[in-house]
Amino acid sequence: MLDAIKPLTVAFVLASYTRDAPAGMERATAALASGLRQLGHRALIITAVEPDPTKDEVDEDLVVLGSVGVAFPAEDDELREAISTHGQDEIIAADLRALYRRHGVDIAVYVDALWGLGRLAPACDGVRTVLAMHVVGHDQDLVPALERADVVVAPSITVLGQAHDRGYDSTCWRTLPNALLVDHGGPDAREREVLRQDGPARVLARLGPEKNVRALLDAGRLVDRGIEVVLAEAGFERAAGAQAAEYRRCAHAAAHLLMGSVRDDGLPWDQVQPWLANAAVVIVPSIKETFGLVALEAMSVSTPVVAFDVDNLPALISSGEGAGGIVVPRAHGEFGLWGAAEVLLDDPVRYAALSRAAYYRSRDYLPTTVAHDFLKAVR
């Protein structure tokens, strides 16, 4: 049992972690680490990605694990092979133990069974092992990761259900939602009304087919409002070149929009919420979303969200009292997303109500709130 009073040192392990990475796991990890620091604890992030000395500031709480030995972006199989052949797993495990001892780590959080190296999770005296299951991983990674974990946390009951459907006993796992990295103020009521009338519809996503951006753009060819899309490559991908190919498909679809643009340079994390704040509406066209961090970030700056009724999105956006957007049945397709957005933008009263509700729903996800819940779950 961990001491409930003394400050703790928590180490997050995520091989693909880089600052400003366009992926929910990285941003959620940074947010939880920030919340722990605000509560007076120390949070380290252990990554396999060497920082760029010409771009990245020195961060004493970012530790590079050099023994992983892959170039990013990498495929699942590439990383799996790199850390599990020729005794490399034992080398990495020894390096992690040495880091934990050097920094006095109390809790090690493996952010995913594969990419968070949860399948290795070496036993270390005095260190509590947590598996943060943002997605239900491949069995060959997940089985050894679960055997090594003292506590399992997931961002939503969606993940618990998916694990149960795969034959895992998730009854003792804890839900711990993703947190907002930054609490950025949104437009006031007057500015929000101007955006409703003239602002663009915006989409922010990682380049993955499950984000479904190309289909959304194909369906938006007759939309007579500005459509702005920002995409970016993450440090992981299904197959070599898959993200670049996805961008080409999205760019081709965007070329046929009446008023639209798409770019693939991403956004720094501190610019995400300001950019979403200046949208009339944010559309999340994902067909898989175990949490929905972009939707939450949009809501936190009072921008209504339109999304499909898939996975955790309905619970995040519209369950309980006060909806922060509109949830569209998946069967209505991408035309249904555009239609719902158009109806909302033509209704100033409903739009204002959803905008206010979106902001207040987001207050449950501040980093200190989630960090406090994390400590209750893992002590």
- Judge whether 281 lies within some domain: yes
Task: Please say which residue of 124, 142, 176 terminates a domain.
Answer: 176
Q: Degrees (nearest 5) of the Cα angle 88, 94, 99?
A: 125
- Judge whether 158 lies within some domain: yes
Q: Are residues 262 and 156 in the same domain?
A: no
Q: What was the pLDDT predicted at 341?
A: 98
Q: Are residues 214 and 292 in the same domain?
A: yes
Q: What was the pLDDT predicted at 55?
A: 66
Q: At 309, which CATH number? A: 3.40.50.2000
Q: What was the pLDDT predicted at 320?
A: 61
- Judge whether 373 lies within some domain: no
Q: Are residues 164 and 196 in the same domain?
A: no
What are phi and psi for residue 167, nearest 5 degrees?
95, 10
Report yes or no: 27 and 125 within 8 Å, Cβ to Cβ: no
Q: What was the pLDDT predicted at 73?
A: 86
What pLDDT digit, counting tens, does each position of 74-98 carry? Answer: 899 999 999 987 789 999 999 999 9
Q: Are residues 47 and 163 in the same domain?
A: yes
Answer yes or no: pTM beyond 0.85: yes
Q: Are residues 234 and 334 in the same domain?
A: yes
Q: Are residues 14 and 137 in the same domain?
A: yes
What pLDDT digit, counting tens, does each position of 331-379 carry? Answer: 999 999 999 999 999 999 999 999 999 999 999 999 999 999 999 999 8
- Judge whether 92 lies within some domain: yes
Q: Provide, rounded to the nearest whole percent, the portion of the chain with pLDDT above 70.
A: 97
Under-50 pLDDT residues of the chain:
none
Q: Are residues 129 and 18 in the same domain?
A: yes
Q: Are residues 267 and 347 in the same domain?
A: yes
Q: Are residues 170 and 195 in the same domain?
A: no
- Judge whether 182 lies within some domain: no
- Judge whether 183 lies within some domain: no
Q: At 69, which CATH number? A: 3.40.50.11930
- The greatest distance separating any two alpha carbons of the chain, rounded to the nearest whole angstrom, comes to 64
Task: Please say which residue of 153, 176, 199 terminates a domain.
Answer: 176
Q: Are residues 28 and 162 in the same domain?
A: yes
Q: What was the pLDDT predicted at 279?
A: 98
Q: What was the pLDDT predicted at 239?
A: 84
What are phi and psi for residue 130, nearest 5 degrees?
-120, 130
Instruction: Please give the Cα distance from 263 to 244 (Å, whole number).
Output: 12
- Judge whether 135 lies within some domain: yes
Q: What was the pLDDT predicted at 4?
A: 62
- Judge whether 376 lies within some domain: no
The closest alpha carbon to 93, from 106, 102, 83, belongs to 83
Instruction: Please give the Cα distance from 138 to 76 (Å, whole number).
Output: 10
Domain that holds residue 52: 9-176
Instruction: Please give the Cα distance from 10 to 378 (Å, whole number).
Output: 11
Q: What was the pLDDT predicted at 235?
A: 85
Q: Are residues 78 and 203 in the same domain?
A: no
Task: Please say which residue of 120, 152, 176 terminates a domain.
Answer: 176
Q: Are residues 108 and 130 in the same domain?
A: yes
Q: How many domains does the chain have?
A: 2
Report yes or no: 244 and 220 within 8 Å, Cβ to Cβ: no
